[in-house]
Each structure stands twice: as structure tokens, then as C-alpha cells.
Structure 1
Amino acid sequence: MSLPDTQTLLLEQDGPVLRVTLNRPESRNAMSLAMVNELMAVFAAVADDPAVRVIVLRGAGGHFCAGGDIKDMAGARAQLASGESDAFYMLNRRFGEMITATNAQPQVIVAVLEGAVLGGGFGLACVSDVAIAADDAQFGLPETGLGVIPAQIAPFVVQRVGLTQARRLALTGARFNGAEAARLGIAHEAVPAAKLDERLAETLAQARRCAPHATRVTKQLVLDTLVQPLDQLLDQAARDFANAVASEEGSEGTMAFVQKRLPKWAE
């Protein structure tokens, strides 16, 4: 695997874990177009690599992501003034392409949420498979208070918290902490900030106990429940199950269970 060069992200390979750190601390890791493009390049580079089983998303400097980059908005406004009528559309839609790619990424996505988790950062949290929040992190959808809309993240927020809560959060711009984010289901749990690294390590240990290919197929199965008719989904699930049982992973998992040992992928 060859990772792309990045200017706005820090990349660290740690065995089966790829740690991706949003690295614009001077702007609380606001999501610039460059960062969006770099995230997409990293996701594409590792998508088919079975050696990368988990991607950890975190922000540098004590913040996850404070939303979109104001400088990009200003640049798009200048483009609009010069006659490029689709400038804002293209900027916003590119973010939507990234968050859609993150949602569908075959690896397990673990988000570590601290400091500002706002706007686009909030949306990114909503497409993680596991979200661990600091109990004092600050969450919110501030877009309507700025005269804009949470255009690309709204569907993913609805899927995460349900329609009634999504309406309240998006239409009031309410701010709330990590403990409330866990109650709403945006994060799966909230812990004191000093315990984030410990809880992350425990989560990664749990993920490593799961078979790599079975995890990928299971993630796709779960996502397909949103888009496929039930009979079609269950037919495909039965085929995937039969393939899994007959696979090398299935044999190893069964033998490890009988022999009361860890399977090879968890060692």
C-alpha cells in the first residue's frame, strides 16, 4: 500500500490501524477543500487493502473539526463574482462526495471526538462506525444561524439520530456536550477527556478480534439494509454467510473457538 502525500492530514500506520489526524489546528481543523480531497485520496488508497482493518479519525490540537473552512467560502464567492455560477455548488457537493465515501469505506471507522465537533465535523462523526466522545466536547449544527444549510450532512444526521432529533438540532442550532451526544446516539459513549486514549485502545483491541473479511462483508450488509428490499437483502446475506462458513476465516474462527485460543487475525 502506498499512502498519498498529504498537507492537511497526519497519517500513521500502526499495524492494521491507520490513524488519520485532521491537522489544521490553527482553524480548529476546519474542513478545507484540500482536506476533503486528501481524505478522499487516503480512503481510496486503502479501500482494497486487507492489511488496513481500522481507520481512526481524530483532530490535532484538542479539536475534532469545527466545520467548513471560511476561506474556501470566500474563494467560492470570488469565483461566483467572476462568473463561475456553480462555485458554491461544486464546493459543497465535493464535501458530500467525501462524506459518502467515508460512510461506505470498507474499514471500521473509529472517530475520536473532542473539542469542537461542528457542522461538517458533526456530519463526519455521524458516518463513523464507532464514535468515542470526550464528555466536554462541543457538538452542534450551526449552519442555519449563519444563513446557510447543512446541505450534504443532513441525510447522515437523520440516519444517525432519527428524524425528530435531526429536525430539532438542525432548526435550532443547539449546542450540547459529549454526554448529550452519547445520549442522542451521535457518539456511542462519552468519557472524560483524559480517558479517551485508554478507551480508544480498548475499542481497537475489540476490532482486532473480528475477522477482517467478515467485518467488511458485515459492514456492507448493515449499510444495504437502508437501500435493498428485504427479500433481496436476505438472499444476498445467505450467500455471504455460506461463503463465510466455507472460507479460510470461517475455518480458522471455528478451530480457534474449539481450541480455546485467539484466531490468527487477533494475535
Structure 2
Amino acid sequence: MIEEIKEGYVKVEREHGIATIEFYHPQRNSLPGMMLEALAKDIHSEGLNRNTKVIILRSGGDRVFCSGASFDELAAIKNEEQGYKFFYGFAQVINAMRKAPQFIIARIQGKCVGGGVGLAAAADYAIAVDGSDVKLSELAIGIGPFVVGPAVERKVGVSAFSQLAIDAGMWRPADWARRKGLFAEVHSDVAGMDDSITRLSDSLTHSNPEAMRELKQNFWKGTEHWDELLKERAKISGRLILSDFSKNYIAKFKEKQLS
């Protein structure tokens, strides 16, 4: 199944109990609202699919796994309701990943920015290739990593999360992400990364689904309030994106892209 979205897509492929969900956008795999909605829907659907034993989340292309929010959509936000609706899209994806009873393996083939770091953190096991640097750029835009923050903090701890959030312009190398727990593995090349994903996903298809479901519930214990928490966080971002600081930053960013 493939869901075509303007200048991008989200597609699902199933084979031998493995559901691979792939997203792609030509603007460095950024995520407009329609793609966020499609991702959340597909993850939720696979979570309900009894034939799906494991989920792989990946993106198309190379060098960039996900660059986070779509700047075109950020620029188009005119009021708090629109801002909330957009950022709530990230909340829905994270909550769908959290609630899916299957383990989710993230294939990180390139850099992660903002919401892309959130996706990696919300995965149960992230396997990356060297060069998959990470950055939480939200403060530079005039907002903050409010929606993805709980997922990132859960994975790397308060100290590492605060470092990412405060120094919003600094890239952290993939090995830093591995040492902090964001990535489970970092491979020197794509072939090694894909071999490891194949090995692990195949192993999980032969594991007890009930045991994996119980394990995942234990791993995510203490996040039951995230439905409401991430709604509140989306409201904060939706309000801050309307600030003059954010509007000026986005306008300058888009001008730079056109020059």
C-alpha cells in the first residue's frame, strides 16, 4: 500500500510478518501535516494487524533520515489552532509508535533533525549508519522540542536531552547518539546496517508475540499519560511558532533557500 502525498509518500510493505513503513519527502524528508497523519494511521493499523510481528520504520533516499517539521507548513501557520494541529501531528506519530504492541526498529540512514530525533527516540530499537548525526534545532527556530522531548528524554536522560535542546545549532555525531542510548547500533556502512536490521527483524518474527507485547508494555511503563501530555506540549509549540522571532527566522530561512 502506498499513499501518495504532494511531493512525497508514505508506503507500507509486508513480508513474512515484517511490516516496513517508509516515508519520503524531497525536502530532506521533512514532514508536512499530511505525512504525519499518514504515518500515525499506518503505524496504528499495523499495530492492530495480527499478522505483523515487527515494524521497520525507514525513510527514502540517503544522507538524511528526517529533517523534522516542514518549513513551508510552519510558515503557513496563522493562528494557535493551526499551530496546535500541526504539532499535534508529531504527537500522534509518537503515541502510535508507543502504543503499537510490536517492536519498532528504526533504520537511520542519515541525519536526524528535530522531529527526526523524536522518531528515532520513539522507536524501540534504532540501527544507524555512521554519519547519522543528530540535532534538536527547535530553540533556534524560536520554539523548543516540547512534543518530541518526552520521547528523547526517556531514551537519553535529562542531561543529554538538555544538551541537545540548549545547543540547538550543534550536530552530535552518531557515536554520541549511540553512547547516550538513542541508537542501539552504529555501522560503518549501509550494508552492515541493513544486514543487522534483517537479522534482528527475522529473529523477532520467530519470537513469541505475547512475550514481546508484554516486554514493550514494560519498557514504556510510566508513559500512559502521554496522550494528554503531548497535546499540551503541541499547544505550547503552536503558540510559540506565531512569535515574531519564529516568523522572522522562518522567513530568512526560506529566503536563503531561494537565493
Change in CA separation of 1:201 and 1:4 when aligned onto 2, cut-off 3 Å = closer
Structure 1 residue aligned with 2:84: 89
* Paired letter, 2:14: Q
Q: Which residue pairs with 1:48 in the alignment? A: 48
Deviation string 1:53-84 (CA, Å, 9 cap, x unpaired) is 111111111121011101111221xxx2xxx4
Measure, in 2, the Cα distance between the counterparts of 1:130 and 1:51. 20
Cα 1:190–1:37, aligned 2, differ >3 Å: closer, same or farther?
same
Q: Which residue of 2 aligns with 1:164?
A: 159
Distance in 1, Cα, partners of 2:41 & 2:96 = 10
List gaps (5 residues or longer) in structure 1: 229-267
Which residue is equivalent to 1:130?
125
Deviations 1:22-44 (A, max 9, x none): 111x2111011011110111122
The 3-state SS of whatever aligns with 1:31 is coil
Amino acid at match of 2:207: C
Shift of 1:217: 2.1
1:146 alignment counterpart: 141
Q: Whose Rg is larger?
A: 1
- 1:185-200 correspondence runs (5 A): 185-194=181-190, 195-200=192-197
Instruction: Name the % identity.
Output: 25
Contact between 1:28 and 1:116, CA under 8 Å: does it hold in 2? no
State the match for 2:27 in structure 1. 27
Answering whether residue 150 of structure 2 is matched by residue 155 of structure 1, we say yes
Offset of residue 167 of structure 1: 0.8
Farther-moved stretch of structure 1 (38-47 vs 118-127): 38-47
| Structure 1 CA distance for aligned equivalents of residues 109 and 131 of structure 2 | 7
Check conservation: 1:179, 1:190, Cα contact below 8 A.
yes
Alignment of 1:98-247 (within 5 A): 98-173=93-168, 174-194=170-190, 195-224=192-221
Could you tell me how far 1:197 is from its partner in structure 2? Answer: 1.1
Looking at both structures, which has the greater relative contact order when contacts are Cα pairs under 8 Å and sequence separation is at least 6?
Answer: 2
Q: Which residue type is aligned with residue 217 of structure 2?
A: Q
Q: Which residue of 2 aligns with 1:58?
A: 58
SS in 2 for 1:61: coil
Contact 1:18 1:54 in 2 (8 A): yes
Aligned residues: 219
CA distance in 1, matches of 2:177, 2:206: 27
The answer to whether the 8 A contact 1:113-1:132 is kept is yes
Structure 2 length normalisation: TM-score? 0.79
Runs of 4 or more consecutive aligned structure 1 residues displaced over 6 Å after TM superposition? none
The SS at the match of 2:201 is helix
CA displacement 1:127-166 (0-9 Å, x = unmatched): 1111001111121101112222112011111111111111
Deviates further, 32-41 or 90-99: 90-99
- In the alignment, structure 2 segments of 5+ residues that lack a partner are 226-259
**Distance in 2, Cα, partners of 1:55 & 1:65:** 18
